[in-house]
Chains A and B, each alone.
Chain A
Amino acid sequence: MKSSPETPRRPRLALHKFASCDGCQLSLLSCEDELMAIAGQVEISYFLEATSCIQPGPYEIALVEGSITTPHDKERIQQVRRDAQKVVTIGACATSGGIQSLKNWANHEDFLKCVYARPEFIETLATSTAIADHIPVDFELRGCPINRHQLLEVLVAMINGRMPKIPRHSVCLDCKRRGVVCVEVAQGIPCLGPITQTGCGALCPTYDRGCYGCFGPAAQANCTGLVHTLQDNGATKDTLLPLLRNFNAAAPEFAEQSNALENQEETL
């Protein structure tokens, strides 16, 4: 490949935050060993958690953390899209609505009254929704929080104009690669591993905990099949409902299954 006579301008990177805990942005700052290399590859132009030096758009790559929970954010995300060539959402909040999407199953006015002395000052939507529900998204990186190695892969891919290589298989495959014994089969611990996308490297089962589904549904997840299996092994609705309604509660496959589970219990 011939290098162009002029040094090409580095792609500009923006990082936008919506309703979230900041943990996914921190994953970028946690790339300590690679941070200088990243700074050499991209121009970090908008990243409030890292620097107050703000450069105006447009940007080549916008990373978006957090979900849409307010009328203001619903407008703001439109400008993020207009300002960016590629929009990559990062984390469970941005890709499925996050833990705060539990309010989708409740009356958010009740929450406001519980939390705020003057709830009338708070302007909020009734739901927490994924970024892709509002704008077209070029790539969704899952996880609560995201895996920084996967974030680097996404950045390298975006810089080089290719699709990121992010596996879509179950957590089980990584358990077996690590030699971790199945906690569901050997200990009867309810585990979402078979229906959850990999990304964590099977962290929880390695420490004798069931998978919490942090990376959302795996491709073509058979959620009904897993719920039947766990119920056959004695798991109750009290265990399974919070497991499905967790960091990725509003991911369509998990939401559909938790709703079915709720109805199943009512008809019994």
Chain B
Amino acid sequence: MTQPDSTSSTVAPNEEAQFLPTDRLQLLIDALIADDRVVIGPTIEQQAIVYEEISSVDDLPRGWTDVQSPGNYRLEKRDDDTYFGYVVGPHSWKQFLFPPLTVVATADRESADTKWSMQAPQEDPLRYAFLGVRACELAAIAVQDRVFLQGPYVDPVYRARRDAAFIVAVNCTQAASTCFCTSMNTGPKCKSGFDLALTEIDGGFLIECGSEAGAVILKSLETDDAGSRHHDLAENAQQQAVEQISKTLDTGGIRDLLLGNLEHPQWEEVANRCLSCTNCTMVCPTCFCSTVTDVADLSGDHVDRKRQWDSCFNIDFSYMNGGVVRNNVKSRYRQWLTHKLASWHDQFGESGCVGCGRCLTWCPPGIDLTEEVAAIRLHDLRVPPEGSSS
């Protein structure tokens, strides 16, 4: 996607959609590699489907699926051999666009008597191709675009990677018990923000094109024209995902609900279970916090300025001159949830949650943010406004 905005108008799928037989999927990977790209896709590692560099369809988790519930993730063998028959795993595309560790500057001096010279590392941006991006993940990338690219300060690290990235989306054909994208209006169907979008159906893939770059790649593949049968199969498969989504988050007036209940006893209750381990924020595809540290060598003449992922659940994240501002688990959980679902609206004009369910699955005690919001909504402590004008 060379320009994040350029994909808001998708090519009408019925005119452009093509059919790629299963045994030609390798051609797509080959075409992306031939386009001088590092292809990142799903693969199995450490008993989970993660995103790593791939070069072959054999790297894909063919015939595997993930079974998820709050605090629990297990791989299971499928009774078919689909390539994309899983939902989302512990990784997200965030780690490639916004790397966990970046040296953003270096400083050197000859000796204590000489001046410092500072350099910002100039890197060749990696040309990524992401294979298997789900609708909620496209939404998450759009959220991070707003954070890193559309404010007064553009992040050059994110910019370089984002501009060069080619996105092959995959429509979900199933859902996990932790999915709630339908509540957040982010999925499960991929509508925009991709170069190509696949739907896996019997015998192959329906491919839709979302950009000119996508059209170039699509043209180089040996595809067939998609018939109405292919479209029907794809629609049914996508509908299956919609029907499997059982979790909901009531977003009605959510900003005022949460910010009006900052002293709700539920925050204390959740703090008993929350380990403040940071896992929810790390797996969240939109969480963007980082910390910057200057690391000097022993001589004191060379300094690396390192930016690392950080989390509002890290006690020292709110350390300011003299002490820690959010000095207990309750205040840290409240900060995270109210930012994600409430003050994000003030800051970026939308929700920070895309409904992917990662923070439920990868929370060891299985804290479910939809249940936390529901508990607060059930006993809303706000005083009804006088005169009840609004």
Interface on A for B, CB 8 Å cutoff?
Answer: 1, 3, 34, 37-38, 41, 152, 155-156, 160, 165, 167-170, 172-173, 176-187, 193-195, 208, 219-222, 224-226, 228-229, 233
Contact partner of B315 (CB less than 8 A), chosen from A156, A182, A219, is A219
18 pairs, A vs B, C-beta closer than 8 Å? A156-B296, A167-B314, A168-B316, A172-B279, A173-B311, A176-B309, A182-B90, A183-B46, A184-B364, A185-B72, A185-B364, A186-B73, A194-B277, A208-B46, A220-B315, A222-B329, A224-B272, A225-B272
Q: In terms of DSSP, what is the predominant structure of the interface of chain B? A: loop
A182 neighbours in B (Cβ, 8 Å): 73, 90, 279, 362, 364
Size category of the binding interface on chain B: 35 or more
Q: Which of A3, A165, A172, A182 has the most CB of B within 10 A?
A: A182
Residue pair B314, A220 in contact (C-beta under 8 Å): no
- Could you tell me the distance in whole angstroms from the C-beta of A152 to the nearest C-beta in chain B? 7
Question: How far is B168's CA from A58's CA once the two chains are assembled, in angstroms?
Answer: 67
> Known contacts A172-B282, A176-B279, A194-B275; can you find 14 more A-B pairs with CB under 8 A?
A3-B113, A172-B278, A173-B311, A176-B309, A177-B308, A181-B90, A182-B90, A182-B364, A185-B71, A186-B90, A219-B316, A224-B272, A226-B365, A229-B365
Q: Do the beta carbons of B275 and A226 come within 8 Å of each other?
A: yes
Question: Which residues of the other chain, A, contact B75 by a CB distance below 8 angstroms?
Answer: 186
**Is there an interface contact between B298 and A186, defined as CB atoms closer than 8 Å?**
no
B365 touches A170 (CB 8 A): no
User: What residues of B have a CB within 8 angstroms of the CB of A177 in the complex?
Assistant: 100-101, 282, 308-309
Chain B residues near A (Cβ < 8 Å): 45-48, 50, 71-75, 89-91, 95, 100-101, 112-113, 272-279, 282-283, 293, 296-300, 308-311, 314-316, 328-329, 361-362, 364-366
Q: Say how far B155's CB is from chain A's closest CB, in angstroms.
A: 18
In the complex, A182 Cα to B279 Cα: how many Å? 9
Verify A185–B361 contact, CB threshold 8 A.
yes
Q: Considering the chains assembled together, what is the distance between the CA atoms of A266 and B92 in angstroms?
A: 44
Q: Are A185 and B274 in contact (CB under 8 A)?
A: no
Q: Which residue of B lies closest to A156 (CB)?
A: B298
Among A41, A155, A176, contact of B282 (Cβ-Cβ < 8 Å): A176
| B370–chain A nearest beta-carbon distance, Å | 18
The CA-CA distance from A221 to B364 in the complex, in Å, is 14
Distance in angstroms from A191 CB to nearest chain B CB is 8
Which residues of chain B come closer than 8 Å to A184, judged between CB atoms?
A: 364
Closest partner residue, chain A, to B275 (CB atom): A194
